[in-house]
Amino acid sequence: MQVSEQPILRDLVLVGGGHSHVVVLRMLAMQPESGLRITLICTDIDTPYSGMLPGYISGHYSFDEVHIDLGRLASFAGARFIHGEVTGLDRSNQRVLMKDRPSVPYDLLSINIGSTPNVRQVKGAQAHAVPVKPIAHFNLRWLNLLERVRLLRDRFTIAVVGGGAGGVELVLSMQYRLRSELQKLGRNPDWLHFVLLTAGDSILPTHNAGVRARFARVLKERHVAVHTRAEVHQVAPGCLHTRDGRTFDADETMWVTQAGGPAWLQGTGLALDEHGFVKVNDRLQTLDDPKIFAAGDVASFTNRPLEKAGVFAVRMGPPLVKNLRLCLRDQPTVAFNPQRKWLALISTGNRYAVASRGSIGFAGTWVWSWKDWIDRRFMRQFTELPDMAPGAAPSAAPASSLALSAEESRQAISAIAMRCGGCGAKVGASILTRALGSLQPVERNDVLIGLHSPDDAAVVRVPPGKAMVHTVDFFRSFIDDPYLFGKVAANHALGDIFAMGAEPQSATAIATVPPGLESKVEDLLLQMMTGAVEVLNAAGCALVGGHTGEGRELGVSSFSVQ
Ligand SMILES: Cc1cc2nc3c(=O)[nH]c(=O)nc-3n(C[C@H](O)[C@H](O)[C@H](O)COP(=O)(O)OP(=O)(O)OC[C@H]3O[C@@H](n4cnc5c(N)ncnc54)[C@H](O)[C@@H]3O)c2cc1C
């Protein structure tokens, strides 16, 4: 964890650890913003790099080679990493709503959550098809399929629905890998059959005729049955039905089509396109809210349609970080002008790839080697993180250039003064009252004075004939998620009580929180104490009081009695 000397002045929240945000994090690490607290929230801890996914399926790369460790990258950028799922936005209070944990405040927000194949619109698809996203779920199903195929004794058909680059690469990569697995085991690879279905007139509709013809040839040579104008309208166990009445065998169905934005975006009030993606202008700002940006697949670029491809998500990273910085300084943002023609390197699974750019197309094993070189070079930016020179680390960052109101500047100055330990470095009473007021510790009859009616000290009754067991712990924060940290600290304190064979009754907490604007300190305290109180409540232990001070790092201790 990097520790900042600067008070926390602004919150930038990055929702989703997609291709744009990994670039943003790296750039913010290389050139930190003083006073900016960055929080990355993602359902994945390891985020996949799309360019290498087909190579992973083919068996050319390991899991680690195609994934970026978001925890490590966030730590490198001095950002907090919350491993969790965003379920909505409370835009009037500028908070990100989370599944199973407190909401997270933002001053500036960026969304880079990719797209989700929409299996809900087709009957049976949710139950019987495997959507290729989220990749973490897909990977589990893929590993399961590998095991099933290794045990095969008979004919087995795999259908891929979707004739874009993703679908074509997936079917060829799976075929290469699964046939190799059977060959290695001395079994008959011809038990495996592959079908590619697309509703369109041709595969790869956004690529030139030469590239389409080349792939049609490869698929034919590899005995992949391609069916165009085959719109799947029902998925059943063991088969697929198309709208025109055809039925296809499918022991396993992979879904690589009809991508859309997740349902929770509908409730945000942000303008969405017909697929549920967030509409953005050429500055990557949402049309309704200049404090909210979106990038990657989830962004619907209103100036002109962009292909949903990792390459655009990556390219949006630098303009996104630039505009986030400008926005934090209250300066006008700048336009992103994506290129009209772009190079796609599409692999055929067997270390061979086809290059496609506008009307140009060429192919070969050397194209695959070239792609491999480009992809590995990209990944090295995130796996081989440079050592930060002491002067470049956020802890030594210069005075903040973030735009603040007069009141915020006053609070920032007093937060800096607080670092010297003046005023006992105590957190202000109004912050405490607000943060602790929303906690709901369990009520117990033997707690005479606790947080429900706070006083200078708590008073608890010791039941006759019982002894008191005292314990105290103190942790410097070893994780940057305050809610999780509160839970860990409370569990640790309870562990000592249980180890003594005692029953937890009440707890006091000493917390240190880094200095910042009042709202930032209040929220940090609330997140940490909410985590602690949830654990204490589950054990029937009442939080009865404590002390909160400001320090360089987050820390908490609990003192429990019976
Ligand atoms: C088989 C296949 C092969 C492909 N090959 C290529 C290729 O070679 N080149 C190319 O350019 N494109 C390729 N693509 C397309 C590419 O995968 C996408 O365009 C790209 O991943 C989009 O990147 P992104 O940054 O928008 O989001 P993603 O990379 O999808 O990342 C989004 C992240 O946000 C997280 N997230 C989602 N919802 C939430 C939530 N509610 N709360 C918190 N976190 C959340 C996800 O878990 C994920 O980590 C391929 C696609 C497929 C299916």
| Residues 186-213: tens digit of each pLDDT | 999 999 999 999 999 999 999 999 999 9
Ligand 1 site, residue 114, Cβ cutoff 6 A: yes
Q: Is the model more confident about 247 or about 429?
A: 247
Q: pLDDT tens digit string along 465-494?
A: 888 888 887 777 778 888 999 999 889 888
Name beta bridge partners: 543.
507
138's CB contacts (< 8 A; 6+ apart) are 130, 131, 132
- Predicted confidence at residue 541, as pLDDT, reads 92
Instruction: Name the average pLDDT for the chain.
Output: 89
Q: Which atom of ligand 1 is nearest to the CA of 19?
A: 25
Q: How many CA atoms lie within 13 A of 228 on its CB side?
A: 9
The CATH number of domain 406-561, selected from 3.40.50.2000, 1.10.20.10, 3.20.20.70, 3.30.1330.10? 3.30.1330.10
Q: Are 69 and 18 in contact (CB under 8 A)?
A: no
Q: 460: part of which helix (H) or strand (E)?
A: strand 459-460
* Residue 451, φ and ψ in degrees, nearest 5: -70, -15
H helices of 61-164, in order, are: 70-76, 125-128, 135-150
- Looking at this protein, which amino acid is placed at residue 276? G
CA distance 24 to 210: 36
Q: Is the pLDDT assigned to residue 399 strictly greater than 80?
A: no
Prediction ipTM score:
0.96
Domain 119-257, CATH: 3.50.50.60
Q: Are 260 and 276 in contact (CB under 8 A)?
A: yes
Paired sense of beta strands 447-449 and 506-513, if any: unpaired
Q: State which fold the 10-115+261-341+361-386 domain adopts.
A: FAD/NAD(P)-binding domain (3.50.50)
Ligand 1 site, residue 428, Cβ cutoff 6 A: no
Distance of CA 289 to the CA centre of its chain: 22
Q: Which atom of ligand 1 is nearest to the CA of 52?
A: 8
Q: Is the pLDDT assigned to residue 439 strictly greater than 80?
A: yes
What stretch(es) of the chain map to CATH 3.50.50.60?
10-115+261-341+361-386, 119-257
The candidate with the shortest Cα–Cα distance to 423, out of 509, 515, 511, is 515
Q: How many CA atoms lie within 13 A of 302 on its CB side?
A: 16
CB atoms within 10 A of CB 147: 9
Q: Is the model more confident about 544 or about 283?
A: 283
What stretch(es) of the chain map to CATH 3.30.1330.10?
406-561
pLDDT category at 417 given cuts 50, 70, 90 is low
Q: pLDDT tens digit string along 84-116?
A: 999 999 999 999 999 999 999 999 999 999 998
Ligand 1 site, residue 20, Cβ cutoff 6 A: yes
Q: Are 277 and 261 in contact (CB under 8 A)?
A: yes
Ligand 1 site, residue 132, Cβ cutoff 6 A: yes
CA distance 522 to 77: 23
